[in-house]
Amino acid sequence: MTINLDSLERSAIQLRNLLERYQHQAPAAALVLRELNGVLERAAKREITAPMKPRDIPGHRYFTETPLGAYRDLEAAYASFYVALIDGQSSEAFRMLQAEMKRS
């Protein structure tokens, strides 16, 4: 199983940009950036070619356990990156969700 490298690279760059923008006003953003730094770097360089296991992706708890959930653009960027990392776009459940969202 291979990953969509274009999607992963784009989402990594977008997430890094937002984390860097918010890190001074939201300390949790700086923590997420620090924890994800290596993964973001490898993704932007297209070095991640196989899906990661969800448990191996740091950062998700910060959006529920800190005020980061208020930064909707950052949360959406993290979600896009997460989905790209687990190759969730190729799952049947993801395609069904997309189809449902398009109908709404």
Confidence band, pLDDT 50/70/90 cuts, at residue 2: confident
pTM, to two decimals: 0.84
Spatial neighbors of 22 by CB under 8 A, at least 6 apart, are: 29, 71, 74
Both tokens assigned to 58: 């740091």
Judged on CB neighbours under 10 Å (0-12, 13-18, 19+), 96 is exposed
* Residue 14, CA atoms < 13 Å, CB-side half-sphere: 17
The residue extents of the domains of the chain are: 5-103
What is the mean pLDDT of the segment spanning 52-77? 91
pLDDT for residue 32 is more than 90: yes
